[in-house]
């Protein structure tokens, strides 16, 4: 039935004079299980479905979407998309041009072993409660939390250029967290990363995380943080764990290389970018060991798919190569500005949102060595673990990123724990000061399930492959 509705929408917009149109039927199923202090306080099964119709008429864009799935509603919504395009042409300076793309008829499904929606709820609940039991036994713990999250997206994409693509994407993840309180000081520790680790995978990923094996350590470190001193204000060497490198990539490489914001179309919310087109191919963004790709094809990434929401095939491209800024994340419309082809990064949160350029998996390519070797090779500095909250200016230059926990490094050894350390600076300076990146054995694709962009704000699931890395001369403190 959904295919018929999609075909109907395309018929209507062609009949109404659209020069281009695409239609997405999207159904998203989510299951969220949240535990707090031994109580399952949230058990939700949510379903989101509807049709989004995008058109170009007389060189201007229109978009309309509805959750109502009768033929009459689809026809009405398709006509509304045309009406919206007619209103858009009031303010245009030239016709929208799309870079060419291949006509595709294909299907794609996330590879997985175990469908998370078929795993009994009791098994998932028991896992969270087992973690709770372990964390509760640690003296000083006041709050225990945990969450498992499962996501399944089925989408039919069809366009007036005769593409027809069906995709089914699974995302799976979760976290556990302990909070200790002593006087007015709280110590918060979570696993894995901060507030979770997510992959395009099935339930096998949850099992691989070994939550119960880590619950006691998490709780003990939370207690230790209540008596830990705050991070001293200084400029020093910083070693970031993989989850923190992932956030560093996200904020300082992923967002500023989105070509839509570079061209000004995200000013109303997110801002612009310092990585302007004149810098492409000649701006020294990082040290020579820094190479960063956009890769929607790697297994496990939250930015892994078969085709983007314009029907462009998933691909690999380079944003930073040997330290030089080389490329952007693009769409068909933005790529056409530079007479290029889209590298396939357009995604919408659901049927009711217009596709935007979104990060796929933005990956720092591994070099060599293990974390312990880099620490052993560091005379003085701070090791940061579990990415906390980031903040960055609207051109993506001045950043501030905090973490849950850090350790002072002295003479090649982790020594004293420090509480909620943060580091800050100018984005290209930290990458220019990167002098060590761990090897493939420490490399992991981290999932960020809450990347915000657009207006109205859309939440995207994106990925970042990273291994721990070392940066010199970084300002640390609060």
Partner 1 sequence: MIDKTKTKEYLDLIIKMKDIEAIEGGLFYSEKGTTRFANSIIHQNMVVEDPWLWIRGVDKKRVCGVSTKDFRKEGIERALGKLKEAIKEVRPDKDFPGLPKRPKGFRLKKTAEPEFIDPEQRGEAVAKMVKVCKKYHLNAFGVLHSTRLALGVANSNGIFNYGTNGINFVSITAMGNGASGYAVDTKSHFNDIDFVNLAEIACEKALLSKNPREIEPGKYTVLLEEPAVGEMLMFLAWLEFGAKRFREKSSILSKRIGKYITGKNITLYDDFRHPEMIGFSFDFEGYPKSAVDLIKNGKAKGVVLDSFYARLLKKKNTGHALPQPSSGGPIPINLIMKNGEEKKEEMLKEIDKGILVTRFWYVRVVDPDKTLITGMTRDGTFFIEKGKIAYPIKNMRFTINIYETLSRVRKISQERKLYGEDIFFLLAPALLIDEFNFASKTEY
* Separation of alpha carbons 292 and 285, rounded Å: 11
CA proximity to 358, closest of 466, 463, 243: 463
Interface residue with partner 1, options 68, 229, 410, 413 (CB under 8 A): 68
Tokens of 466: 């990273």
**C-beta closer to partner 1: residue 40 or 104:** 40
Q: Running DSSP on this structure, what letter comes out for residue 252?
A: I
Stretch near partner 1 under the rule CB under 8 A, chosen from 105-113, 192-200, 284-292, 348-356:
348-356
Contact positions with partner 1 (CB under 8 A) in 234-273: 263-269, 271
Q: Do 125 and 146 touch, CB atoms closer than 8 A? A: no
Q: Is 352 in the site for partner 1 (CB under 8 A)?
A: yes
CB of 333 to partner 1, least distance (A): 9
79 lies in the site for partner 1, by CB under 8 A: no
Between the CA of residue 422 and those of 240, 347, 348, what are the distances in Å?
A: 11, 32, 32
**Residues that contact partner 1, how many (by CB under 8 A):** 81
**Are 251 and 401 spatial neighbours (Cβ–Cβ below 8 Å)?**
yes
Q: In which element (H, E) is residue 313 found?
A: none
Q: How far apart are CA 353 and CA 28, in angstroms?
A: 13
The residue whose two tokens read 């973690």 is 131
16-35 residues near partner 1, rule: CB under 8 A? 34
| Residue 152 in tokens | 């399944």
- Is 227 a residue that touches partner 1 (CB under 8 A)? no
Q: Contacting partner 1 (CB under 8 A), which of 5, 9, 13, 88?
A: 88
**How near is the Cβ of 86 to partner 1 at its closest, in Å?**
8
- The string of DSSP letters for 367-409 reads -S--HHHHHHT-SEEEEEEEEEEEEE-TTS-EEEEEEEEEEEE
User: Which residue stretch of 153-161, 378-386, 388-396, 460-468 sits at the interface with partner 1 (rule: CB under 8 A)?
Assistant: 388-396
69 is an interface residue for partner 1 by CB under 8 A: yes
What are the residues facing 47 on neighbouring strands? 29
What DSSP element (H or E) covers 211?
Answer: helix 211-225
Q: Does 115 bind partner 1 (CB under 8 A)?
A: no
Name which position in 324, 392, 466, 474 contacts partner 1 (CB under 8 A).
392
Among 120, 278, 379, 411, contact with partner 1 (rule: CB under 8 A): 120
Shortest Å distance, C-beta 27 to partner 1: 9
Query: Strand (E) positions, 14-58?
Result: 20-36, 39-57
Q: Show contacts with partner 1 in window 458-477 (CB under 8 A).
A: 475
**Shortest gap between Cβ of 124 and partner 1 (angstroms)?**
9
- Pick out residues in 139-198 that bind partner 1 (CB under 8 A): 142-143, 145, 147, 179, 181, 184-186
Please state the closest distance from residue 470 (CB atom) to partner 1, in A.
22
Of 179, 212, 213, the residue nearest 195 (C-alpha)? 179
If binding is defined by CB under 8 A, does position 422 make contact with partner 1? yes
Binding window for partner 1 (CB under 8 A); candidates: 9-17, 241-249, 288-296, 349-357: 349-357
Q: With contact defined as beta carbons under 8 Å apart, do 448 and 281 qualify?
A: no
**Least distance to partner 1 from the beta carbon of 214, Å?**
21
Is 125 an interacting residue with respect to partner 1 (CB under 8 A)? yes
Restricted to residues 266-325, the positions that interact with partner 1 (CB under 8 A) are 266-269, 271, 274
């Amino acid at each position: 039935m959904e295919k018929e509705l999609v075909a109907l929408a395309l018929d209507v917009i062609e009949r109404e004079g659209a020069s281009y149109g695409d239609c997405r039927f999207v159904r998203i199923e989510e299951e969220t299980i949240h535990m707090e202090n031994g109580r399952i306080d949230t058990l939700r099964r949510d379903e989101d479905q509807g049709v989004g119709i995008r058109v170009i008429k007389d060189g201007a864009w229109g978009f309309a979407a509805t959750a109502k799935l009768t033929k009459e509603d689809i026809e009405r919504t398709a006509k509304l998309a045309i009406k919206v395009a007619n209103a858009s042409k009031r303010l245009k300076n030239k016709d929208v041009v799309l870079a060419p793309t291949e006509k595709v008829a294909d299907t794609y499904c996330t590879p997985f072993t175990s469908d998370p929606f078929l795993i009994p709820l009791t098994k998932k609940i028991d896992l969270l409660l087992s973690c709770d039991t372990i964390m509760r036994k640690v003296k000083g713990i006041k709050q225990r939390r945990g969450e498992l999250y499962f996501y399944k997206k089925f989408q039919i994409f069809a366009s007036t250029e005769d593409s027809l693509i069906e995709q089914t994407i699974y995302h799976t993840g979760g976290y556990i967290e302990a909070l200790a309180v002593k006087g007015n000081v709280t110590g918060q520790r979570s696993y894995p990363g901060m507030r979770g680790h997510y992959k395009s995978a099935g339930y096998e990923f949850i099992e691989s995380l070994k939550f119960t094996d880590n619950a006691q350590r998490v709780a003990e470190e939370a207690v230790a943080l209540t008596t830990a001193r705050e991070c001293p204000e200084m400029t020093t060497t910083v070693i970031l764990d993989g989850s923190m490198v992932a956030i560093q990539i996200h904020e300082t490489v992923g967002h500023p290389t989105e070509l839509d914001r570079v061209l000004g179309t995200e000013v109303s919310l997110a801002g612009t970018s310092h990585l302007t087109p004149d810098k492409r191919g000649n701006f020294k963004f990082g040290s020579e060991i820094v190479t960063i790709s956009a890769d929607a094809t790697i297994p496990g990434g939250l930015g892994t798919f078969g085709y983007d929401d314009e029907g462009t095939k998933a691909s690999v491209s380079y944003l930073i190569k040997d330290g030089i800024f080389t490329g952007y994340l693009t769409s068909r419309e933005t790529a056409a500005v530079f007479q290029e082809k889209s590298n396939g990064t357009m995604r919408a949160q659901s049927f009711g949102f217009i596709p935007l350029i979104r990060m796929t998996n933005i990956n720092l390519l591994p070099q060599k060595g293990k974390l312990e070797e880099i620490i052993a090779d560091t005379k003085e500095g701070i090791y940061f673990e579990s990415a906390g909250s980031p903040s960055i200016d609207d051109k993506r230059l001045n950043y501030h990123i905090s973490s849950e926990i850090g350790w002072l490094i002295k003479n090649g050894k982790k020594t004293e724990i420090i509480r909620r350390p943060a580091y800050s600076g100018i984005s290209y300076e930290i990458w220019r000061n990167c002098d060590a990146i761990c090897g493939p054995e420490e490399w992991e694709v981290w999932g960020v399930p809450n990347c915000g962009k657009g207006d109205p704000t859309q939440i995207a699931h994106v990925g970042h492959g990273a291994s721990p890395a070392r940066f010199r001369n970084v300002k640390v403190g609060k």
